[in-house]
Structure 1
Amino acid sequence: MELAELRRVRLHVQGLRQVRAASAAEVVRGFVAVQSQEFVPAQWGLAMRVPAERRPDLAEVGAALDRGEILRTHVLRPTWHFVDPADARWLMELSAERVHRANATYYRRTGVDGDAATRGLDIVAEALAGAHCTRAELSAALEAAGQPFTGLAFTYLLMLAELERVAISGAGAGKQRTYAAFNERVPPSAPKTREAALGELAARFIRSRGPVTDRDFSAWSGFTLGDTRQAFAAVGDASGGRIETVEVEGATHWHDAEATSEARAFGGSPAAGVVDLLQAYDEYIMGYAAPRAYLQPAGRATPVHPEFPLHALMLDGVMAGRWAPTSNGRRAVVKLVPWRAFTPREEQALAASVAEVERFLGLPVTVEREALTE
């Protein structure tokens, strides 16, 4: 498979070309987990994958989070992800031990261990019983109980509470987010064996992001290459031929043959002049391991990579510059930093994408444009 076709298939399976998800929650469900450390940009990454006629704005995605249709927690790796409530429990059971190991040094350095951690978790659980609490409210509860945690210690205690299935994201409280009791937001489910859970994660990763390498999955999920290769082999054997391998630039990639055939049938020859304003941690970027050659535009010597707070201005699936939205609550500014002159058709597509961002934010947008040199 050529790199151009790899790019085209990925754009399709990721919902960036044939947009079919009925809601932001359905986007999350399809991806299994969506990296979301930048809260508002991550919500845009969901909304843009819903068809324009029913695409939610920021308030509507926020309402889905408030209702618990989408949950946000630290899972897979020590970073925020959006997850579906039905997937939250088994994903946490599968990955919590690995995240704990990654955090172990910080637990010790900040005093989030031993009796102090146990007592802290008990206080958090008591505060969240039947309630949604902000960070400030949880901090006050710990202080009142004589077990204060501040600074990084408080941050790691809250992550520990997530990993131990004590807490998970709650509804918004004004401009603040809250935590809620895990079992009040996450439905009960039968436990999965580690092998079954890792296999499901791998299979859904391949279907939603393929073609992918074993290194892509390892980087995204945090699991070792050994675990990954065992899971990929098992998934391939159990797929009845649906999961296949293909070579791309000398590397073995796994893909869902039906999804790839659908992408080829839908795509025909690649459309020219399609602009995607992706957030820096979008799954089209972070779903794959560096160096991400598929993002590299022809003729640009400097390797491209995410560089938050500037996001990725994509043209036909490759990076063509950067962009950044900012707002003061009343108005928004979209900064554009293209790497080359755009054709009239490309300019029209760019303007349409900016208009979609404006609609999503629900604020009038002013565009600022600046040149970027190598």
Structure 2
Amino acid sequence: MDRTTLLAQRLVTQRLTAAPADPVRVVGEALAVQSQDAPMARWSIGMRSAADDGVVSRAVDEGRLVRTHVLRPTWHYVLPEDLRWLLALSAARIERSMGARHRQLRITEAVLERAFAVLRETLTAQGPLTRRQLHPLLPTTGFPEQGQVVGHLLLVAELRELIVSGPSADGQHTYVLMDDLIPTVPERTREDLVRDLTARFFAGHGPASVKELTRWAAVTQAEVRSALGDLGLSSATVDGVELWWDPTAVAEGTRPRRAHLLPTFDEATLTYLAPSWERVPGHPKGDRPPTYARVGGGVVICDLAEVGLWQRRATGATTRVSLDLSPSVTARQRKAIAAEAQRLADFEGRPLELAG
């Protein structure tokens, strides 16, 4: 396997060039879709399906997709049936990783128990509520920025399987009691959970490396390598890196697309370390490392290379897409990139305003 074959296969595996699928299937195949930038996470799902933003949003509102903190201390979309076992695998390690921050915020176990009691009582009585509605009800710790305290109280309540995101209300996500939405699952050994995680990750992201999986989820390289033995995965070495994938999950490329507007947190950009997309000469970021604070935009991939950056702004009347491309981009490539910008605007149901 050479680099070109590798990058093309990843696009197929991630359904960017394979046949579109229902949004629920897209998320199930990925196992988890990072979603702190929720509008762009929905676009990530939309690129892999034939759905528009309304269809993806309805799947969330109806509980067929769940947005919560899991795998790492950040938001992800997952399927309801996958949430509890993923939390069993990752929640304790995520919470331990935040210990120093919780001490700064003066969040103790006693504070957490008071917060959990408020959440149980309030959500049982009133149903779905937004963070803004819950904010004045939750206990204070004396830390001067209560908003940060509230954010972490809610996060730990998610990790401990008390609450989960519910339907949107006035453009804001709500919280509901997890037991009202998410089915319970039998207790399983950590080895069994790591085995399922490993199988699902390489089926939905391969070819990928063991290091990429341990970066993606709260597991160790030793745990992953122990799980690899009986999964029947294929492997190859590209640029000195051993990569793994599930040969039974390999799809065919049926939607050849030259260009993709990939959000900063898209699984096709965020997952991979190396080998990954190479920048063309004249790229606006030059040799500077990627940054992961860019919301509402991301990178432009064209002909299996990173050719520039894009930014989206929804004005209400239009979807404005601003492009910052390498001067080496050809007229035909620019046409393909513009077509992807139009696809984003169509996904959001607004006329396109293209700049750059």
In structure 1, list runs of 5 or more residues that go unmatched. 370-374
Shift of 1:279: 0.6
Q: Would the aligned equivalents of 1:245 and 1:254 in 2 still touch at CA under 8 Å? A: yes
Candidates 244, 249, 262, aligned match of 1:254: 244
In structure 2, list runs of 5 or more residues that go unmatched. none
Write out per-residue CA displacement over residues 249-295 of structure 1, whole angstroms, 9 at most, x where no aligned residue: 112111112345x55xx48xx96x70001111100011223xx3421
Q: Would the aligned equivalents of 2:30 and 2:200 in 1 still touch at CA under 8 Å? A: yes
Match of 1:86 in 2: 81
Q: Distance between the aligned counterparts of 1:174 and 1:85, measured in 2?
A: 23
Q: Structure 1 length normalisation: TM-score?
A: 0.87
Alignment of 1:183-194 (within 5 A): 183-194=179-190
Q: Distance between the aligned counterparts of 1:113 and 1:78, measured in 2?
A: 18
One-letter amino acid matched to 1:16: L
Match of 1:36 in 2: 35
Q: Distance between the aligned counterparts of 2:108 and 2:138, measured in 1?
A: 15
Match of 2:18 in 1: 18
Return 336-345 or 166-175, whichever deviates more.
Answer: 336-345
Whether 2:301 is the aligned partner of 1:305: answer no
Q: Would the aligned equivalents of 1:296 and 1:304 in 2 still touch at CA under 8 Å? A: no
Match of 2:345 in 1: 358
Candidates 45, 48, 52, aligned match of 1:57: 52
Q: Would the aligned equivalents of 2:191 and 2:223 in 1 still touch at CA under 8 Å? A: no
Match of 1:286 in 2: 270
Match of 1:203 in 2: 199
Match of 1:68 in 2: 63
Shift of 1:341: 4.0
Whether 2:327 is the aligned partner of 1:334: answer no
Q: Distance between the aligned counterparts of 2:215 and 2:330, measured in 1?
A: 36
Secondary structure of the residue aligned to 2:268 is helix
Q: Distance between the aligned counterparts of 1:306 and 1:205, measured in 2?
A: 24
One-letter amino acid matched to 2:279: P
Write out per-residue CA displacement over residues 94-123 of structure 1, whole angstroms, 9 at most, x where no aligned residue: 111010111111122212222111111111
Distance 1:297 1:139, change over 3 A: closer
Q: Would the aligned equivalents of 1:135 and 1:178 in 2 still touch at CA under 8 Å? A: yes
The percentage of counterpart residues that share the same residue type is 30
Q: Distance between the aligned counterparts of 1:368 and 1:318, measured in 2?
A: 21
Alignment of 1:145-224 (within 5 A): 150-224=146-220
Q: Distance between the aligned counterparts of 1:277 and 1:32, measured in 2?
A: 21
Shift of 1:138: 1.2
Secondary structure of the residue aligned to 2:264 is coil
Alignment of 1:94-173 (within 5 A): 94-129=89-124, 131-142=127-138, 150-173=146-169
One-letter amino acid matched to 2:38: F
- Structure 1 consecutive aligned stretches of length 4 or more whose deviation exceeds 4 Å: 298-301
One-letter amino acid matched to 2:341: V
CA RMSD of aligned residues (A): 2.2
Q: Distance between the aligned counterparts of 1:274 and 1:282, measured in 2?
A: 17
Q: Would the aligned equivalents of 1:139 and 1:149 in 2 still touch at CA under 8 Å? A: no
One-letter amino acid matched to 2:262: L
Q: Distance between the aligned counterparts of 2:83 and 2:266, measured in 1?
A: 20
One-letter amino acid matched to 1:281: F
Write out per-residue CA displacement over residues 344-368 of structure 1, whole angstroms, 9 at most, x where no aligned residue: 3323212211111111111222111
Secondary structure of the residue aligned to 2:269 is helix
Shift of 1:143: 6.2
Secondary structure of the residue aligned to 1:247 is strand
Q: Would the aligned equivalents of 1:218 and 1:224 in 2 still touch at CA under 8 Å? A: yes
Match of 1:372 in 2: none
One-letter amino acid matched to 1:209: H
Secondary structure of the residue aligned to 2:138 is helix
Q: Would the aligned equivalents of 1:296 and 1:303 in 2 still touch at CA under 8 Å? A: no
Candidates 222, 226, 231, aligned match of 1:230: 226
Secondary structure of the residue aligned to 1:294 is coil
Q: Structure 2 length normalisation: TM-score?
A: 0.91
Q: Would the aligned equivalents of 2:111 and 2:139 in 1 still touch at CA under 8 Å? A: no
One-letter amino acid matched to 2:191: E
Shift of 1:335: 0.4
Q: Distance between the aligned counterparts of 1:274 and 1:306, measured in 2?
A: 24
Q: Distance between the aligned counterparts of 2:278 and 2:311, measured in 1?
A: 20
Distance 1:149 1:339, change over 3 A: closer
Match of 2:312 in 1: 325
Shift of 1:302: 1.4
Return 323-332 or 297-306, whichever deviates more.
Answer: 297-306
Shift of 1:149: 8.8
